[in-house]
Structure 1
Amino acid sequence: MSEQQLFKVTIDNITIEVAPGTSILEAARKIGGDVAPPAMCFYSKLKGSGGKCRTCLVEVSKGSEKDPRPMPKLVASCRTTVMDGMEVKNITSERVVDARAGVVEMLLINHPLDCPICDQAGECHLQDLSYEHGREGTRYEFQRRTFEKHDLGEYIQLHMTRCILCYRCVFTADQLTNKREHGILSRGDHAEIATYIEKSLDNDFIGNVIDVCPVGALTDRTFRFKNRVWFLKPVDAHRDCPTCSGQVTLWYRGDEVFRVTARKDEWGEVESLPDGTTAWICNTCRFDKKHTGDWVIEGPRKISRHSVISQGHYVGMHKPEETIEKVLHGRKPRLMMDIHSVSQVNQPNIDLSQIEGPAHSDDFNPALPKKD
């Protein structure tokens, strides 16, 4: 059997060989860096995804060796396969840069300006996209589309006002669960993700819709308002789970595990296992196993995306020398008082991650009456 012929494709003046049937986006990701177009709806692990958001538009300046004519319009790189000799422009094309700015402006028309209170801030793909390709202001003068928040069961909250209709969660539920109970209702400006009769999403793998959501539309109710992601330290861990892969990322602050997520690659997608399957995790691992003793710790998680989470990462850091002892001529500083024994607010026996909802002063101060 002869070897499969590879196609040569040039993207932003960088040539790479890929197998026939590879999309332009996947070829660009093999090159990496800024050559790879952004993608808000495409998810390589989900069949049928892509072609919805149009953020991955590129210019094909040469169709192929056999037909060198350029394509007249910009094409979605996630849905366009490469041809031998094809030449593509991404960030080197003014048409692409201008079109992408227009797409981002369109996505932000109805999106609320609530980044300061959104739990997705710091790991939001739309936030990254708007910084890189968005405009400084908005020209939209009309009332924004709004929806009521819905709790899709005890673990997931849907904030449809933030949704960009990427359909990732629908594909995830359709392909990972036995019975999908939510989807797209209505059309046009009234289209929304919903369960129609507000059913509870209680499948054992339904928590993965939180991981695939690129914005803050689907959030973890057990983590909401507990902490900011840039204050947390991601650590890889695993356990012998009979239901799923058991390979997760634990998010620590101090010695508390605030949340558990699937491991993600540099494109924000759930990683693949050595056997080629995707490392989706079950609800038990995600929501119920939030103690260090439940896991085998592997080590710090490397955050490769340009995220604010990586700014506080401790890999490769050097611990500064203690200067107080030098000032005191070798004597160690004395602790004059233990603040926990004096203060009625800071109590070390309170775990923030275990508090239902946001923390208030009456959660710490026993002198104050508890709210109902």
Structure 2
Amino acid sequence: MAEDKKMFKVKIDNISVEVEPGTTILNAARLIGGEVVPPAMCYYSKLEGSGGKCRTCIVKVTKGSDADPRPMPKLVASCRTTVMDGMEVANITSPEVLDARKGVVEFLLINHPLDCPICDQAGECHLQDLGYENGSEATRYEFKRRTFDKVDLGDKIKLHMTRCILCYRCVFTADQLTQKREHGILGRGDAAEIGTYIKQSLDNDFIGNVIDVCPVGALTDNTFRFKNRVWFLKPVDAHRNCNNPKCCGKVVLWMRGDEVFRVTARKDEYGEVENFICDECRFEKKDKNDWVIEGPRKINHHSVISQGQYVNTVKPLDPLVDVLDGRKPKLLFNIHSESQVNRPEIDLSKIEGPAHSDDFIIKKS
């Protein structure tokens, strides 16, 4: 009988959790959930090699382990640092971490344009949320921001490099998911940019997933661009029997009425795709009849998209029922049969002169 695997005890923001050896601090925090989880702009659990680029997930290790209780001298990236038995970590409880994260956000926004009102990613942009929660009111950067021309990577994907934060997610997706890498990081330093080799277009069965993994508005869906705002649409879960064996066919339809504006993969609470979908499901199946609709998509209340959702609502009680002692109010009724004033047997057109109250008096025989 195999021995049980030893678990490491870790404490993050004074909350204890047991994890397997080799688990990163970020994933240990995700087991706890809530505000303890550091933000992540480049790490993606389904992409090998991701993480360590943006530095937004930095934390402070106040105790290395039970064997070596010394604190780590510098802040570390939680997505790249594995836990040790007895480790203690400070995230939101450390003013040093919050101040450093504020500086990281300011650095990410040095070249990023603040064009949220016209960006299709607005309302579901991780950088927008990060800037709101950890950013500064103003920037100290005085130099001219770098700009790039918008580029069409094929007829379905638009690249707006000016918004890119170089998280490398799209590069890892194209390299690992499609097995046909056609784009990557060109140039170095301030001249680094996402681009295609020899101006090739991104054209394969799963390349549309680079749109879903992009945390900002650098890669957007050309078929949805400027068509609608996400908070005006109703996301619903749907599925279909896809002919591609690698595609699960489980998606989210973004609808307004019966019109499907866009199709995306389903994402978890951390904004990561649950299952990648093929380009046929994403771009070509925009008819409601192509899908089996399961029901409304549950959206985190933190998102502005949740403001238009009506899930698990409670119908208010009708006060008229209590006023009428349990009797249901009669919304439509014949006034002649209900009223003692207007008598149906009296024809007003046959009364000589104006009608008078005496004409409706019931005369006793």
Task: Tell me: CA distance 1:305–1:31, structure 2 relative to 1, closer, same or farther (3 Å).
Answer: farther
Counterpart in 1 of 2:269? 266
Partner of 2:306: 310
1:255 to 258, 270, 292: 258
Question: Matches of residues 133-282 of structure 1 in structure 2 within 5 Å?
Answer: 133-243=134-244, 244-271=247-274, 279-282=275-278
Question: Given the superposition, is the C-alpha separation of residues 195 and 73 from structure 1 closer, same or farther in structure 2, using an over 3 Å criterion?
Answer: same
Equivalent residue number for residue 57 of structure 1: 58
What is aligned with 2:282?
A: 286
Report whether the alignment pairs 1:90 with 2:95.
Answer: no
The residue type equivalent to 2:251 in the other structure is: V
* Aligned counterparts of 1:322 and 1:116: Cα–Cα separation in 2: 41
Q: Which amino acid aligns with 1:281?
A: I
Q: Give SS of 1:197's match.
A: helix
CA distance in 2, matches of 1:103, 1:168: 18
DSSP-derived class of the 2:197 partner: coil
- Going from structure 1 to structure 2, the CA distance change for 1:218 and 1:312 (only over 3 Å counts) comes to same
Counterparts of 1:250 and 1:182, CA distance in 2: 28
Task: Please tell me the residue identity of whatever aligns with 1:69.
Answer: R
User: 1 CA distance for matches of 2:251 and 2:33?
Assistant: 25
Q: Distance in 1 between matches of 2:266 and 2:316?
A: 31
Superposed CA offset, 1:40-66 (max 9, x none): 000000000000000000000000000
Contact persistence 2:187–2:193 (CA under 8 A): yes
Q: Residue deviations 1:260-309, cap 9 Å, x none?
A: 000000000011xxxxxxx1100000000111111111111101262100
Which has the higher Rg, Structure 1 or Structure 2?
2
Shift of 1:198: 1.8
Can you list the C-alpha shifts for 1:220-270, whole angstroms capped at 9, x where unaligned?
A: 000000000001111001111121110000011111110000000000001
Cα distance in 1 between the residues matched to 2:70 and 2:207: 46
Q: Please say if residues 55 and 104 of structure 2, whose CA atoms lie closer than 8 Å, have aligned partners that are also in contact.
A: yes
Alignment partners' CA distance in 1, 2:6 and 2:318 = 61
Please tell me whether the aligned partners of residues 253 and 262 of structure 2 are also in contact (alpha carbons under 8 angstroms).
yes
- Find the residue that maps to 2:107 and give its secondary structure: helix
Q: Is the 8 A contact 2:301 2:307 kept in 1?
A: no
Instruction: Write the distance in 2 (CA, Å) between the matches of 1:201 and 1:281.
Output: 16
State the alpha-carbon separation in 1 of the partners of residues 117 and 300 from structure 2.
23
Equivalent residue number for residue 352 of structure 1:
none
* TM-fit CA distance, 1:197: 2.2
Matched letter for residue 253 of structure 2: L
Gaps of 5+ in 2: 320-329, 334-365
CA contact (8 A) 1:119 1:225 kept: yes
1:331 and 1:127 mapped to 2: Cα distance? 52
**In 2, distance between residues paired with 1:118 and 1:141?**
24
**Deviation of 1:313 (Å):** 0.7
TM-score norm. by structure 2 comes to: 0.86
1:190-230 deviation line (CA, Å, top 9, x unaligned): 00000032211111100000000000000000000000000
What do the CA deviations read for 1:15-43 (whole angstroms, capped 9, x no partner)?
00000000000000010011000000000
TM-score normalized with structure 1 length: 0.84
What are the equivalent positions in structure 2 for 1:32-47 lying under 5 Å apart?
32-47=33-48
CA distance in 2, matches of 1:33, 1:300: 24
Contiguous gaps of at least 5 residues in structure 1: 272-278, 324-328, 333-372
The answer to whether the aligner puts 1:299 opposite 2:299 as a matched pair is no
AA matched with 1:171: F
> Given that residues 41 and 51 in structure 1 are in contact (C-alpha distance below 8 angstroms), is that contact kept between their aligned partners in structure 2?
yes
Compute the RMSD of aligned alpha carbons: 1.6
* Aligned equivalent of 1:346: none
Whole-Å separation in 2 of the counterparts to 1:170 and 1:116: 27
- Residues 322 and 253 of structure 1: is their aligned pair in 2 closer, same or farther, counting only changes over 3 Å? farther
For 1:163 and 1:29, locate their aligned partners in 2 and report how far apart those are by CA, in whole Å. Answer: 26
Equivalent pair of 1:267/1:305 in contact (CA under 8 Å): no
- For 1:331 and 1:108, how far apart are their aligned partners in 2? 61
Question: CA 1:321/1:255 → structure 2, altered by over 3 Å: closer, same or farther?
Answer: farther
Once the two structures are TM-superposed, the CA of residue 77 in structure 1 deviates from its matched residue by 0.1
Number of residue pairs aligned between Structure 1 and Structure 2: 321
The superposition leaves residues 69-124 of structure 1 with CA deviations (integer Å, 9 ceiling, x where unpaired) of 00000000000000000000000001100000000000000000100000000000
